[in-house]
Structure 1
């Protein structure tokens, strides 16, 4: 338990440093808005997401690069996490409400056992989850989440548009997802 707390503290410190470094340009002016744990970056200030690939909880593999052209909502969760249980219906509701507008969802299960993670997902969500017990995918993000649950919204070009460091509610998440989904993709020469 002490090791988990130490790792969480170190993760939070590294995240804060990366967030500050990633959200300030050469002139020291903020390039991303950070309000109440929600970091939103303007399209011209977004960084690309790291490679997000892995083994799915129920078998098979996933590569977010195959979703280019869609908005991808990535949720970091664990079966041991009470706020993750609380937000599951809101995530599924937002997924169902936005999937026809070019939005897909991906869960990333962290610090968990496969059996507990599969049992948690059963009947809660219909989108896939990568099994990542070592949290390597979260650590690879330019603006990594520093809490679980956390949600990262990638735009249609695979860039980090929004990071939410708290449990989400559909009434808060869905408008953000719809706003990112409504953005025009950059012309081919600017990608």
Structure 2
């Protein structure tokens, strides 16, 4: 099956799932907003339970987002075949370098790629790890899935989805969002 057709089918399915909104259950509806530039955000008291993000890393080893609790995690879905992904790589790395000292970590999730092409794409571009997910199953596990590639999902310090950006990012747009989420006060226990 043509990879682009498969991707289009997957993205259509993910988009249909996304239309149900920001809900963790029918009994507990969540309200979130979408800005004029397409950034989907949920206020801290409106965020759903943390998603399960785990998998095999592109360069070996494994990753589980639960090990990053207490940090803001910026998750970027990308593919080496994706021109906007190539365009945003330097901006993502710049935001990573600018925010990692304030408890922010980054994770790439490579989709619809061969391992060799993905490794070649990352070499010299980014210094944060990426999960190798050629089947795109990780996106489907999210309560508010990205419905395009590239897409960036920002998890708060409790691991909940705080923002979803369904387009290529620029440093000047992404960094203020990441810094604002990193500055949020933790929920009281």
SS at match of 1:73: strand
So what's the TM-score if we normalise by structure 1?
Answer: 0.90
CA contact (8 A) 1:77 1:150 kept: yes
Q: 1:175 to 1:132 in 2, by over 3 A?
A: same
Match of 2:73 in 1: 72
Q: 1:128 to 1:176 in 2, by over 3 A?
A: same
User: What is the deviation of 1:8?
Assistant: 1.7
After superposition, the CA RMSD in angstroms is 2.1
Match of 2:11 in 1: 11
CA contact (8 A) 1:25 1:31 kept: no
Stretches of structure 1 that go unaligned for 5 or more consecutive residues are: none
Match of 1:59 in 2: 60
CA contact (8 A) 2:73 2:156 kept: yes
SS at match of 2:127: coil
Q: 1:114 to 1:25 in 2, by over 3 A?
A: closer
- Deviations along 1:38-67, whole A, 9 cap, x unmatched? 101000001123211111111011111000
More helix by share: 1
So what's the TM-score if we normalise by structure 2?
Answer: 0.91
Match of 2:105 in 1: 104
Query: How many correspondences in the alignment?
Result: 187
User: What is the deviation of 1:13?
Assistant: 4.5
User: What is the deviation of 1:167?
Assistant: 0.2
